[in-house]
Amino acid sequence: MAELALSGLVRHSACDWPGELVAVLFTQGCPWSCRYCHNPDLIPARAGTLPWAEVRDFLQSRRGLLDGVVISGGEPTLQAALPAALAEIRSMGFRTGLHSAGPYPERLARVLPLLDWVGFDVKAPFADYPRITGVPGSGLRAQESLRLLQESGVAHALRTTVHPRLLGAADLDRIGADLAELGLPMAELQPFRAAGCIDTELCAT
Ligand code: SF4
């Protein structure tokens, strides 16, 4: 069976799932190329550097000490092994969380029943997604993923990274309108962080 391509582990975090003390696993590979990505090393879809067996041993040692495990990335829904990994994490007694930007709606739908919480990145007004992600059609995919998330009833938080060169006040209004059409509240805004970003123009602004 394929295993998650993992390239990072944060052993304890109180800020990756509000209100929960979690471990965070970082998957390798993302189909999008956001200019502000602060984990660009995780974008190439290649083998990970962290064996699942090692992660399993670590999680076994934290049973009863952590509330849950968040799978982040990269883009976790790229991974064929995601459903099996979530099921195994749950079987160890942890609550399960996911960070996603929603590029694979069908795959997201498959794992929603295995999730207790989703942190979803809303990049832009749906029509303008390629300006951020560099990928045509990405807005339609994110829109469908958000529709599925909303219908699932799984707890979630929406957030939008704001860089003044990429999103202005009118764009934020349009994001709010797009989300309202899906019955969702406005995303929480988070400022661009230069740490890790390799786009020199964005970092200089
Ligand atoms: S979706 Fe996330 S991981 Fe992928 S390129 Fe954009 S910011 Fe980076």
Q: Is residue 43 included in any domain, yes or no? A: yes
Chain centroid to CA 87: how far?
18
**pLDDT tens for each residue of 20-54:** 999 999 999 999 999 999 999 999 999 999 999 99
**Domains contained in the chain, number:** 1
Q: Is residue 204 included in any domain, yes or no? A: no
Q: Looking at residue 90, what is its pLDDT?
A: 97
Q: Is residue 111 included in any domain, yes or no? A: yes
Cβ of 104 less than 6 Å from ligand 1: no
**pLDDT tens for each residue of 133-186:** 999 999 999 999 999 999 999 999 999 999 999 999 999 999 999 999 999 999
Q: Looking at residue 205, what is its pLDDT?
A: 82
Domain span at residue 15? 6-199
Q: Is residue 1 included in any domain, yes or no? A: no
Which CATH number fits the domain that encloses residue 86? 3.20.20.70
Amino acid of residue 12: H
Average pLDDT along the chain: 96
- Shortest-distance Cα residue to atom 7 of ligand 1: 37
Cβ of 74 less than 6 Å from ligand 1: yes
Q: Is residue 139 included in any domain, yes or no? A: yes
- Shortest-distance Cα residue to atom 3 of ligand 1: 74
The rounded distance, in Å, linking the Cα atoms of 62 and 6 is 19
Contacts of 15 (CB under 8 A, 6+ apart): none
